[in-house]
Structures are given as structure tokens and as C-alpha cells.
């Protein structure tokens, strides 16, 4: 009986030594894993979606391989509705290996604006959930996650159409001038075309105007749209001109409209 | 009188030998702990309280080991050996929170899944417990066999 018991003792001791040595060396080598985050790049995909690309450099200077390295990002609005998601994955990073991966997130602004037009006109915050996971020595899963808020700048912040001014153009038409102003608080440049349809108080469309806009991020825009309307349709005799504009914005990133703005 | 004196001297010498053996083993375990801790010390910045957790474990383990050595040759040696194995299992389960070890600082949470490690440690702990039980049975068997000789 003594020999089998001793053998159990010896085997247990050997396994304990292996387990402790492996655990200690895995924990020790974890400190030799280095992560470096590069400058995020933004651009547009072929589908006219905005993308962020974050370069992540991983240097594994530890003793063991890193398995299942993954980064997941989720952006949601303040009500918790998901608006964008991105995930990146590297199956294995061997000891001594240095790799650079790109963590990409695409943002369909058109879809976001369909859900809530406030993103177009009001600055707000987005909730970002970031999770980074890996398997130390390919068998010990480790995950770090955090929640952050990211300010969202409205591309048409404080958008205003001024009161139209009329000047005679010829015997049958007025020239109408409508001032436009807004501030582009977004992190992207806003280019595109702004169209307005003018309706009189009888809800008859009396004129259309269009202007191209090109506003760099974090700058303001002041301009105007000029177009011509028939004298006959413009004003109900004996009243001041009033009605509404239908405003449309067409840009490579998103289209929006109609947005009804009364005048007069 | 002489036999009694000789017997008490022998007992004292045996006990001194056991105490010396226990002290040497305790020193070896504590030195091993220091050696292991020198590798794990960077973790103390990341996981506050890990040093205290490990020290408590090592102290209780050494105390049980010393008691086991001092009582060697008696059935109590096997009780302490079994207690040591149970303590390893229980302490690992409690301190590792069932294998899912999580810490949070500011708004970042870190989760380490040590279930595989814990499973292996549990199996080894159970093997240690089984060994203690078998040793106790063997010890009782030998005691029972003596009068027959």
C-alpha cells in the first residue's frame, strides 16, 4: 500500500510544480505583451459609409502564444440603441511576433439619421462599449472592457433659413434670396447639395433653389440660395408673403429631407 | 528510572528532529514563495490585495505543514495532511471566486477566466486528499496488524 500512496504523492507534487511554474511564467510573461494604438483614420467606404480605422500594434515578447485576440466596439445612442459595431480578430500571435491589425468600424449616417434626426441638428453624446479579449498562453481567457462617451457633433448645428427677400427680376418674376447658415460640428467635412422648394400660403409650390455646400469640420457656413418665382403665384393679393420651405440635403454620406421650415 | 530517562530523551530527540525537519520544510516553502512572488510582484499593481491573499495562503499552508510534521507517526499527521488538501481546495475556490476573477478600476473591468487552472488545481487537491485518506487507512491497518505479530 505504501508504494502506490508514495507514487500518488510524487505524481501530485510533480503536477503541482508544473502547474505553479506554468501559472507563474504565464503571469510573468503577460507583462511583456505590449499594445500600441496608432492615430485613428477616417474615410468613406464604397457604399458611402463612414469608417474609422484604428491601427493596433501588438508585440508579444512573452514566453507563450496569445490566442484569439479580439477587439469589439459598439456605439449606441443615449437610449441604448445600437448604431454601429465593429469587430477585429487575430487567431494567434506567437512569442516574439509583432503584428499590426486594423480595427474598423463603419457608420451608416443615413441609417442613423433615419432613426433620429437630432443627430443632424443637435450635439449629443454616443455611448461606446469597447472590449478587448485574448487567451494568455492560448488557454487562459482574459477580457478587458470599458464604457466611454464620445461627443457627437451635429453637421447642421443651428441650421437657419432667413426670411426670403424679394427683388423684381422681370415683368413676370421675382428674384428670391434666402440666407442660410449653420455650423458643422461633425468630425467629417460636409459636402453636397442643398435644395429648397418654396410653397406659398395656398400650399402651391412656387419655386425651387439649390446651392452646393462645402463645409470643413468644425467650421461655420453662411450663404444664400437664389431662385425665381412667378409674381402670380407668389403672393395672395392683400397679404404678406408667407408659406413654407421644404429643405433637402444631398451629400455623399447621407440624404435628408424634406424638412419643413415656415417663412413669413 | 534509567529506561524512563532514556525513553524521554529519545522522545525529546525525536521531537527535536521532527521540529527541525518541519522548520527546514517551512523555510524551503517560504523561500519558494519569495521566489515565485518575485515573478508575480508586477501583478500587485494590477490586482490589489493579491500579495495579502498569497501570504495568508502560504502562512496557513506552512502552519498545517508544521503541525503535520510535528505529529508525524500519529493519526493526527493524516488529519493535518487532509486539512491541508481541503484548505488548498477551499481557499482556491473562495479566492478565485469560482474561477472567474474580475477586477474593476474606474470604468474599465478586467475579467480573467481561471476555470481551467482551478479545475486542474482542484483535481490535484483532491488527489492530495485521497492520498491523505489512503495514508490514514494504511496507518490504521498497520496499527491493527501489530497485536497479531
User: Would you call the peptide bond into A258 cis, given omega within 30 degrees of 0 as the criterion?
Assistant: yes
- In angstroms, the Cα distances linking A98 to A22, A29, A186, A233 are 23, 15, 35, 71
Cell numbers standing for residue B55: 501570504
Q: State the nearest Cα–Cα gap between A8 and chain B, in angstroms.
A: 7
Q: Is the pTM of this model over 0.80?
A: no
Work out the pLDDT band at B147, boundaries 50, 70, 90.
Answer: low
At residue A134, the pLDDT reads 92
ipTM (interface predicted TM) = 0.84
pLDDT in tens, B92-116: 888 888 888 888 877 889 888 889 9
The predicted structure's pLDDT at residue A253: 83
Q: Beta-carbon neighbour count of residue B75 at 10 Å?
A: 12
Contacts of residue A253, Cβ cutoff 8 Å, sequence gap at least 6? A44, A48, A50, A109, A110, A188, A190, A192
Distance from CA of A145 to the nearest CA of B (A): 5
> Residue B149 pLDDT > 60, yes or no?
no
Query: Residue A233 in contact with residue A252, Cβ under 8 Å?
Result: no
The alpha helices in A105-189, defined as continuous H runs, are 109-115, 118-121
Q: Cα separation of B134 and B125, whole Å? A: 14
Nearest CA in chain B to A141: B113
Question: Would you place residue B82 in the very low, low, confident or very high pLDDT band (cuts 50, 70, 90)?
Answer: very high
One DSSP character per residue, B122-137 reads: HHHHHHHHHHHHHHHH
Contact yes or no for A24 and B135 at CB 8 A: no
Tell me the pLDDT tens digit for each residue of A23-75. Answer: 888 888 888 888 888 888 877 787 778 888 889 999 999 899 999 999 999 98
| pLDDT on residue A1 | 65
CB A217 within 8 A of CB A188: yes
Domains and CATH numbers, chain A: 33-116+126-151 (2.60.40), 157-263 (2.60.40.10)
Extract the residue ranges of chain A whose pLDDT is less than 70. Answer: 1, 233-240
Residue tagged 514566453 (cell numbers): A63
Cβ within 8 Å, pair B116-A139 = yes
- Residue A124 to residue A127: CA distance in whole angstroms: 10
**Is A15 in Cβ contact with B131 (below 8 Å)?**
no
CA angle B85–B86–B91, rounded 5-degree value: 105
Cβ–Cβ under 8 Å, residues A44 and A252: yes
- Total number of residues shown for chain A: 264
Amino acid at each position: 500500500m505504501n508504494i502506490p500512496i508514495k507514487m500518488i504523492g510524487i505524481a501530485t507534487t510533480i503536477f503541482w510544480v508544473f502547474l505553479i511554474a506554468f501559472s507563474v511564467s504565464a503571469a510573468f510573461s503577460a507583462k511583456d505583451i505590449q499594445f500600441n494604438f496608432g492615430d485613428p483614420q477616417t474615410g468613406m467606404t464604397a457604399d458611402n459609409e463612414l469608417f474609422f480605422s484604428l491601427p493596433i500594434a501588438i508585440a508579444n515578447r512573452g514566453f507563450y502564444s496569445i490566442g484569439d485576440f479580439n477587439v469589439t466596439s459598439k456605439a449606441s445612442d443615449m437610449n441604448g440603441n445600437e448604431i454601429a459595431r465593429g469587430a477585429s480578430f487575430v487567431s494567434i500571435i506567437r512569442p516574439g511576433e509583432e503584428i499590426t491589425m486594423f480595427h474598423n468600424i463603419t457608420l451608416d449616417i443615413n441609417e442613423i439619421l433615419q432613426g433620429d434626426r437630432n443627430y443632424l441638428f443637435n450635439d449629443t453624446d454616443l455611448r461606446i462599449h469597447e472590449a478587448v479579449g485574448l487567451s494568455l498562453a492560448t488557454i487562459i481567457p482574459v477580457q478587458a472592457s470599458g464604457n466611454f462617451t464620445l461627443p457627437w457633433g451635429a453637421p447642421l448645428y443651428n441650421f437657419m433659413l432667413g426670411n426670403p427677400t424679394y427683388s423684381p427680376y422681370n415683368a413676370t418674376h421675382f428674384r428670391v434670396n434666402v440666407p442660410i447658415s449653420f455650423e458643422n460640428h461633425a468630425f467629417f467635412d460636409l459636402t453636397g447639395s442643398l435644395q429648397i422648394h418654396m410653397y406659398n400660403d395656398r400650399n402651391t409650390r412656387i419655386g425651387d433653389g439649390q446651392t452646393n455646400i462645402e463645409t470643413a469640420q468644425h467650421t461655420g457656413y453662411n450663404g444664400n440660395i437664389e431662385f425665381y418665382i412667378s409674381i402670380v403665384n407668389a403672393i395672395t393679393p392683400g397679404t404678406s408673403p408667407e408659406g413654407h420651405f421644404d429643405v433637402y440635403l444631398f451629400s455623399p454620406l447621407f440624404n435628408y429631407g424634406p424638412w419643413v421650415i415656415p417663412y413669413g | 528510572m534509567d529506561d524512563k530517562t532514556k525513553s524521554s530523551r529519545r522522545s525529546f530527540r525525536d521531537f527535536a528532529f521532527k521540529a527541525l525537519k518541519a522548520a527546514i520544510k517551512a523555510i524551503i516553502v517560504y523561500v519558494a514563495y519569495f521566489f515565485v512572488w518575485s515573478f508575480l510582484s508586477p501583478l500587485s499593481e494590477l490586482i490589489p490585495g493579491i500579495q495579502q491573499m498569497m501570504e495568508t495562503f502560504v502562512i496557513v499552508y506552512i502552519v498545517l505543514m508544521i503541525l503535520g510534521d510535528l505529529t508525524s507517526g500519529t493519526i493526527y499527521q493524516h488529519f493535518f495532511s487532509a486539512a491541508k488538501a481541503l484548505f488548498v481546495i477551499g481557499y482556491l475556490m473562495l479566492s478565485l471566486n469560482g474561477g472567474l476573477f474580475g477586477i474593476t478600476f474606474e470604468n474599465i473591468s478586467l475579467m480573467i477566466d481561471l476555470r481551467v487552472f482551478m479545475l486542474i488545481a482542484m483535481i490535484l487537491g483532491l488527489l492530495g486528499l485521497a492520498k491523505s485518506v489512503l495514508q490514514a487507512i494504511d496507518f490504521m491497518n498497520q496499527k491493527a496488524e501489530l497485536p497479531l505479530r
